[in-house]
Structure formats: C-alpha cells, structure tokens
Amino acid sequence: MGIKVLLTAGESRRKLLFQRGFCRLGGKSHKLQIKALTQHIAASIVMEAIANTAPSASSRKAELPGKATHQPHHVTPSTLSPFLPFMVTSFRRTVSRYRRTRGFTLVEVTMAVAIIAFAFIPLFGLLPVGFSVSREAMDISVTAQIAQRMTTIALQTDFSQLDTLQTAGTTLCDDQGNSTTVAGSGIYRVAYNVSDTTDLPGSGATTRLKTVTICILNPTSLRTSNESDLMLNPDTRKFVVLVPDNGR
C-alpha cells in the first residue's frame, strides 16, 4: 500500500514539475532545460523513496531498550524497482540526444564528398588551360619590355649606324627582360633587321626613313617551327620601328 501511495505521489509530482517546467519555458522545448528538469524529477523521486523507506523518529522512541521491534530498511534495487523504468527512460533520452548532436553520419559525409568531387572535377580540367594562359601572358609582358628597350636603343643610334644593329647578331635576355651574356640564363633571343628604304603610300620608296624590325623569340614557349632565322620563324614576335634620318 505504501509503495502504491508513493508511486501515486511520484507520478503526480512528476506531472506537476513537467507542467511547471513547460509553463516556465513558454511552450518551447529547450534541450538543456528539459534535461535539467528530468534529472531534478528523478532525484526528487529517489529521495522521496529513501525518506519513506527509512524508520521515523517516533517509531525509534517507541522501541524498548534491548528489544528491536523495527528492522532497518536498506535502499536496494528491488526497493527502487518501481522508479527504474522512469530513470531508464530518462537515461535513454539523454543518450539519444547525445547521439543526435555528436556529428555527421557516414552517409552524410559520403554524400558531401561526392558533391564536392563532382563540383571540382571540371575545375581540375581547367587548370592546364589556366597555367597555359598565365605563362603566355607572362611571356607577352616580358616581350613587351624587351621590345620597348630595344626600340629606345634603335632611336638613339645614329641613322648612319643603324646597320650595325643588324650585324651585331643575336642578343640574349633573361626572364626579366635584361640583356645577359650567360648562355644558360638567356631565355629570349633578340635580333634586329634593318631595311635601308621604306615604302611610303603615294610617294614610293625613300632612303631618308629606315624600317627597323625587332625580332624576339622565346625558344621555351610553345613553338611550331625550328627555323633558326628569327625573321623567318613564325613563332617570332616582331615589332616595327620607323627611324627617320636625324642628320647623324
């Protein structure tokens, strides 16, 4: 009978605490607050069971000396057996919440990796094209620097001495566009081609204006010809400069 009354009191207390807890939460199921509320209910029921199974002070006073009329009660698993289902349910709910919040499953990780791989495969195919475009852009930039420097040299040379630029042969330049005499560091090959006459529209050829063609070739770039003459090689970049007779 005492156990039945205790169970009834425990159930009513549990329902009351849950109602108060949900009213306090305003109808929102917050995980941390519900967990604390569940632990509080379990602890209160266990403490109530221990208090009801222990002997009262009045019964201890009524006992005669030397005559033990009341046997001490011990809290055992069998004593708390009516409350074990509730405690086990609370423990299972806690473990279930932990499993839901501990991380991604193997299926989710596999799907994420598959999506990332599917998205990056086209990008990997574009990498060679990107490298080729980057190298070509760098080659054009260095070639433009070399052409600008060689143009300045041609304009500063005496008109009567322009032929010496062509007879000087091939000049080597490094990857920064600077002239070098070391064969191992020379990447670009530069040569001049000077024409003594220049054809002008409507007036024919004139000898007072010479056409200087600056030929620049990078042998390490993508080549389509092995022509050694820079003027005839189709891979050569050519820059034309018109140099007028400056009286020198």
Do the domain assignments include residue 116?
A: no
Q: Are residues 214 and 157 in the same domain?
A: yes
Model pTM?
A: 0.51
Do the domain assignments include residue 28?
A: yes
Structural domain range at position 31: 2-56+73-103
For residue 166, which amino acid is it? Q
Residue 133 has pLDDT above 60, yes or no: yes
Do the domain assignments include residue 153?
A: yes
To the nearest whole number, what is the mean pLDDT of the chain? 72
Q: What does the pLDDT average to over 172-199? A: 85
Q: Are residues 79 and 24 in the same domain?
A: yes
Q: What does the pLDDT average to over 101-128? A: 85
Q: Are residues 184 and 94 in the same domain?
A: no
Q: Are residues 99 and 187 in the same domain?
A: no
Q: Are residues 188 and 94 in the same domain?
A: no
Q: Are 146 and 190 in contact (CB under 8 A)?
A: yes
Q: What does the pLDDT average to over 110-132? A: 87
Do the domain assignments include residue 190?
A: yes
Q: Are residues 143 and 237 in the same domain?
A: yes
Do the domain assignments include residue 66?
A: no
Do the domain assignments include residue 184?
A: yes
3-state secondary structure 110-144: HHHHHHHHHHHHHHHHHHHHHHHHHHHHHHHHHHH
Q: Are residues 92 and 147 in the same domain?
A: no
Residue 47 has pLDDT above 50, yes or no: yes
Q: Are residues 153 and 86 in the same domain?
A: no
pLDDT category of residue 64 using cuts at 50, 70 and 90:
very low
Q: Are residues 171 and 94 in the same domain?
A: no
Q: Are residues 97 and 142 in the same domain?
A: no
Among 20-24, 32-36, 120-124, 238-242, the least confident range? 20-24
Q: Are residues 96 and 168 in the same domain?
A: no
Which one is predicted more confidently, 41 or 137? 137
Q: Cα–Cα distance between 248 and 210 in angstroms, integer?
A: 13
Q: What pLDDT, on the 0 to 100 scale, is given for residue 144?
A: 92
Q: Cα–Cα distance between 96 and 106 in angstroms, integer?
A: 18
Do the domain assignments include residue 113?
A: no
Residue 110 has pLDDT above 90, yes or no: yes
Instruction: State how many domains the chain has.
Output: 2
Do the domain assignments include residue 120?
A: no
Q: What pLDDT, on the 0 to 100 scale, is given for residue 41?
A: 63
Q: Are residues 151 and 94 in the same domain?
A: no
Residue 54 has pLDDT above 60, yes or no: no
